[in-house]
Structure 1
Amino acid sequence: MVDTHKIMIVDDDPHICEIVQAYCEREGFLSAYSHRGTEAMKLLTSFEPDLIVLDVMLANENGIDWCMNARSYTNAPIVFLSSREEDEVKISALSYGGDDYVTKPFSPGVLMAKIKAHLRRVSTGRREQLLELPGLTLDFFAQSVNMESRTILLSKKEFSLLSYMAQNVNRAVSVDALFQLIWGTESVEDTRTVAVHISNLRKKIEADPAHPERIVTIRGTGYMLVARSAYAQT
């Protein structure tokens, strides 16, 4: 069975939203739309789209800024849809997280062709973008973790921390290694920020964050991601 793709539309023009949604549904896609950036950000985390159609100019908001913020939560392709034709606007949109740019007035057929092309590109090698562990699956495309049929979105740093530990599962990883990997050797931040992010990560994936079983502290070293099979029988 093929999964149904989910398309999210962010445009302050209700008519545009309805047109794009109608064409999406004609293609068999699930779709949802929002007219405002703040509402759209909430929709992003609940709907978990496979692709986003985004207007450059939202009501009292900048779509490019919204795109930059959204990249903390999703790697889904973002296709800008805008009446702005200036090269500098297109360059900014594509430089700050956008994957494509379609100008208004637009052909719905051309937009659908672009959407399907991006979805095919994303689907290629999709299996290689999953890291499966007992009770835990990391999705490198969506920057999320799937646990017991639940999908949990993570920030970029949280996902980077978890993915590095997952690639070293059941092995202790030093705080210094995590810090250098995520923040870089030239960062001026304190290595204690690792503990803060680990704490936030535990709140999202641990049944009892105060008594973690997945991400355990290794005194004097750092942390270790424990695969479920390693503690399921205890």
Structure 2
Amino acid sequence: MSGGPGARRILVVDDEPQILRALRVILREAGYDVVEAADVETALDRASIRPPDGAIIDLVLPDGTGVDLCRRLREWSQMPVIVLSAVDEEEMKVQALQAGADDYVTKPFGPRELVARLEAALRRTNGTPDEPLIEADGLTIDLAARVVRRDGEEVHLTPIEFDLLRHLARNRGRLLTHRALLVEVWGPGYADDTAVLRTHVANLRRKIERGGGPPRLVRTDPGVGYRFSG
């Protein structure tokens, strides 16, 4: 079934017919309309004729890459873009995120995870990036006052730690690369200093995460970056 009148339209780009069929079924069952393309140029043509609400694109395409497509879409659109990648394409994942992709899903993927990632990206696009309060798992971040509380108790963060948390939380659910975080929080001169980032993430987690178990708020995508998932 399709999403019907008013359903959001998702551009799906993959040159493997079986993947296209699977994505079509998954997205239509979730209530979306699907626009299909098997290469970069067809995708750009279909997106320009009637801009979709979001896109799911493979990293390897016959006439280019998902990185190329993402970069060209970003020249005129801020639609959410999720890239599909194989496990061994880590460098291309990073390039796609730096080109403006919002997230990636690794093949083979679970239907529920894919739809959840898409819905999170769509919510971010429709949300307000400057909301004064962000709440997650007992943590309250007052962006205007630069105050953080855990279960009502104020948490004392350094200015850098707060800026790092603010950028992660404003992009809630979105995977941010090491380089993107370093440039945003520390500046271009620190773009490759992942040791600095790891140290500050460790300090931030110690202050804001609940004790015991793996981190729930600031999660690691190994080799790529971090996301705020509260």
TM-score, length-scaled by structure 2: 0.51
Q: Look up the equivalent residue of 1:79 and give its one-letter code.
A: I
In the TM superposition, residue 67 of structure 1 has moved relative to its aligned partner by 1.1
Of 56, 61, 74, which residue of structure 1 is paired with 2:59?
Answer: 56
Q: Which residue of 1 aligns with 2:113?
A: 110
C-alpha separation between the residues in 1 aligned to 2:123 and 2:80? 11
Aligned counterparts of 2:87 and 2:95: Cα–Cα separation in 1: 12
Specify which of 88, 91, 100 is matched with residue 88 of structure 1.
91
Q: What amino acid does structure 1 have at the position aligned with 2:41?
A: T
Give distance in 2, aligned partners of 1:98 and 1:3.
25
Name the structure 2 match of 1:97.
100
Amino acid at match of 1:27: A
Q: RMSD of aligned C-alpha atoms?
A: 2.0
- Confirm whether residue 9 of structure 1 aligns to residue 12 of structure 2: yes
CA contact (8 A) 1:45 1:73 kept: no
Q: After the TM superposition, which residues 84-163 of structure 1 pair with which residues of structure 2 at under 5 Å, given as runs?
A: 84-125=87-128
Q: Which runs of 5+ in 2 are unaligned?
A: 130-230
Aligned residue for 1:157? none
Residues 25-56 of structure 1: CA deviation (Å, up to 9, x unaligned): 11111111100111111001123111100100
Structure 1 position 66 matched with structure 2 position 63? no
Asked if 1 retains the 8 angstrom alpha-carbon contact of 2:58 and 2:84, the reply is yes
Cα distance in 2 for partners of 1:21, 1:12 equals 13
Whether 1:78 aligns to 2:74 is: no
Shift in Å, 1:3: 4.1
**1:165: which partner in 2?**
none
Deviation at 1:84, TM superposition (A): 4.5
1:46 corresponds in structure 2 to 49
Residue 17 of structure 1 deviates from its aligned partner by 1.1
Q: 1:18 aligns with which of 17, 21, 25?
A: 21
The structure having more radius of gyration, on CA atoms, is 1
CA distance in structure 2 between the aligned counterparts of 1:97 and 1:14, rounded to whole angstroms: 26
Q: For the residues of structure 2 that align with 1:45 and 1:23, how far apart are their CA atoms?
A: 24
